Chains A and B, each alone.
Chain A
C-alpha cells in the first residue's frame, strides 16, 4: 500500500513562500486562497527568541475529520492516502471547513480577480466555475502524481510527478514520497530525524511530518518526542496568523438552524408529550415543524451550491449532517400525516425523528473537530438539553399567551425546572471540560463574557419564576410564561454565541522549534490557547 506523505524540514525552511506561489500557479487558485502556505512562528521572550517557518496545508490525514462529516461524499480518501474533493458533488455546506483542525479548506462563493473587476487574461483563461461555492484545498497535486505514475515517473523524485510546492522549494525543505515504502526518501528522512506532526493529539494522523532535529540514534528516530524534548509552551497571548481565529464559514444562518431547529424539535417533542395527557396541541406541533423548516431554510441559504442540496443525503454512514437531514425528512413525512389523521403511531415516529433531529444537531457540532468549542463531547447533552428546554419553554409561552394554561400546571413546571437543571449542569460540565482541556483564548473570553447572563438570566431567573409560579395563584401562568421566555431566549442567545462568536478554530502549533544548523532545538509553541 502507498501512503503519499510530505516531509517538511524545518531546519531548511526559510519561509520564502515560493511554495505558496508555485501552488497558486499550478492550481490556479484565486486571490486569498492558499492551499499551501508557510507560517512565520515566533516563540520565547526577548532576548531568548526563536522563529520558525512552518509549511501548512491539507494534511491528508489518515483519519480525516473532513471526510467523516461530509454529507455528500464529495470528500474522499484514496487508497494512497490522498484526500480529494469532488467539486461536482460538493454542496458547499462548509462542514468540512469547520471540521478541519488545520484550517486547510476554503470556500469561494464568487469569481475573484487580483485587481477587482479587471480580470486578467490568464485569470479569464483559468477561471474554474466548478470551484465556485464548493470546498477546495490542497490535492497533493494529485493529477501530477497520477499522470506521472501513468508515464512511469516516480512521485517525489521526478519533478513533473511531484507536487508543485515540493518541486519549487528553493531550500529543498519539502519532500514528497511514500511513507509506507521503507526505502523511500521520506522514510529515510523520518528515520534520520526527529519529527512531529501538527496537532498529533487530535488523532487525525496527518500526512505532513515536520523534521526538527537530526536523530540521536536510529532507535530514537521514529519517536515523535525524544527524551530531551521539553513540552510545547501553551501561550495565552495571541500570535497573528497563528493563533486560533474566529471561524467565518458558518454565520448567523447556520446558527439559526441550531436555534430554530433545536427549539422546533424540542417544541414538537414537548407538544407531543403534552398531547398524550391532554388536548391535542396541533398548532404547537405545527409551530415546531415550522421552526425546524425555518432553520433548515436558513442553512440552505448559507450553502454554496443550494440547488445540489439533495446530495446531502449521500453519507448516512458517517455524516451527522446527512442524518440530521434524514431525521428532518422523517419528521415532516410522519408529523403531517400524524396531525392530519390523528395517528398516534405516526406521531410517535415523528417524535422519535424530532429527537433524532435534535441529537443529530448536537452531534454535528461535536464532530466539528476544527472548532475546539464545538468538538468537546460535553456539548452534546448541553445542546440536547438546550433544545428540549427551549421547546418546553416555548410551549409555556405559547400556552400562556393563548390563555390555555390549565390550573394544574405542575407537570409543565416540573419538566421545565428539570430541563433547566439539566441545561445548567450541562453548561457547567461543558465549561469545566473546556477549562480543563484548554481552549482558544478567544473562545474562553467569549464564553466567560456570556456566562453571567446565561446563568442568571437563563437559569436562576427562570428557576425563580417557576418556583414563584407555583405559589403565585392566578399570576402563576404569567410567571411560568415569563420563565419560558427566559429559557427560550437565552437558549437562542447561547447557540448564537456558540456558533458565531465563540467558534475560534484550532489555530496552528509547533511542537518543537527546530535546531538550525549546529544549534539546538527549543520547545515549540501553541499561541492563543488557555493553559489547561
Chain B
C-alpha cells in the first residue's frame, strides 16, 4: 500500500456541516476530521462465519478485517477519535467521577429491587393508558409485537435503532410475516439494506466506507453508483425513506431509560427518528429491556450527562425524547423483555453487566475491537461489553469471545456505570474453562500456564531456562488460531534477562554485599 492509498484525515474545509459562525461542527457522531478513504476501492471485509451453535472464530474474521487495510485504518481512526472526544468531554466536568459513582449506585439499587420497580413501572404505564406486555424471551417479544401489528392490520412498521430488537432477531422474524420493517436510523438502514447486522451499538455502519455505502444504495435504492458524496448518500436515503415513514401503519422504538415512577420511556437519538416512529403512525410500540429501569425522572439528570459524553463526546444527543402516554386517538404499547436478564441477575460475578447503558465507550477504546470490527464477534453485542454479555445467551457459541481481549482494563476505566468489564472477561475465561466450553488445545495451554504461573520457583526456572515465557511456549502455541494476538503480529523480542534475575544480582546482591562488608568491619574492630 503506497502512502497515496492510505486513508487520510481530510483537512478543512471538510464536508461536515458548519455552524452559524462558519466553524466546522463536531456534534452528534461527527468525526473531528472525517476520514476520507481513498480509492482504489477495497472490498468490505465481512463478519464472522456463523455455523449454528459452533464457537465463533473471532480471530479468523479479525484476520480478514486486518487484511483490508483501508477499512481497518479508517475504522481504527474513527473510533479512536470518538474515544478522544469522550475524554475531552469527561475532563470538562469536575464531578465526572462522582457522576459515574452515582450512576453505578442508582443501577445497583434498582437492580436489587428490580421486581418492585417493574411493578411500579407497569402500574404507572397502565394508569397512563398504555398497554403493557411481558416477554420471557426474544421469540416471545417477536410474537407479541407481531400480534399487536396483526390486530391493527398493519402492513408496515418504521422503527428506530434498538439493540434489544437486534438481540431478539426481530427483523429476521418479521421477514417471514409479510409485514415490512423499515429501519429509520441512517446507519441501521444501511445495515438493513446490506442484510448485515449492526457492527456497533451507537454507530452501526462504522465499519463501512462511503464506497461501501454507495454500492449498497446503488444496489437497493438505485442511486448513482459512482457518486460517493456523503451528503448525496444521506439525502438520497432521506428522500427514499420519508414516504415509507409517512405511510407506515406502526412505529417501534427501543428504550434508553424507563422511569418507574412515571411509566416513561426515554430514547436518545441524533436523527429524530425515534420521534418520527413514535409520533407519525397511529400505533406506537416501545420495546424495553427490563434492566433499563431507573426509579425517578430526577435520575435522568445523572445518566444523560454521562451517556452522550461517553458515547460521542457530545454534551447530549440532538433529541432526548420522553414518551409517557398515547396521543389522542392512538394506541401505545410497551413490551418488557426479559430474555435471560432475570437469570443473569443471579450470576454473582456477572450481574453488574446489567448496568450497561449501551454507550459504546468500551468498544471505542478497545484495541481489539478497533482493529477487528464489530462483525468479527458474530454476536449482537461486540467489543468488551459483548465479551461479558454474549456468553450469557449461548455459552458454547460465544465461548471463544472472552479471549478476544488484551486485558488492558481501558474498558473498565471508561465505563460510565463502572462495570468491572475486564475483570468479568477474566472471570468468564475461568468459567468457560471449568465448564469445558473452550477448545482442548487452549485448555491445555491454560492448564500448563496455570501450573507454571502459580508456582514462582517453577516460573523463574522456566524463564531462566529460556529467557522468556514466549520462548518457553512452542511456536504453535503462540501463533495459532486461538491466540488473536499472534495473528498479524510477531511477538516482541524478549529482554536478554528477566527483571527478577537482574534484581537479584544488582540489588539483592548489593544489599547482601553491604551486610557482608559491615560484618567484616565489625569483625575488624
A and B form one complex: no
Q: Footprint of B on A, CB under 8 Å?
A: none
Q: Footprint of A on B, CB under 8 Å?
A: none
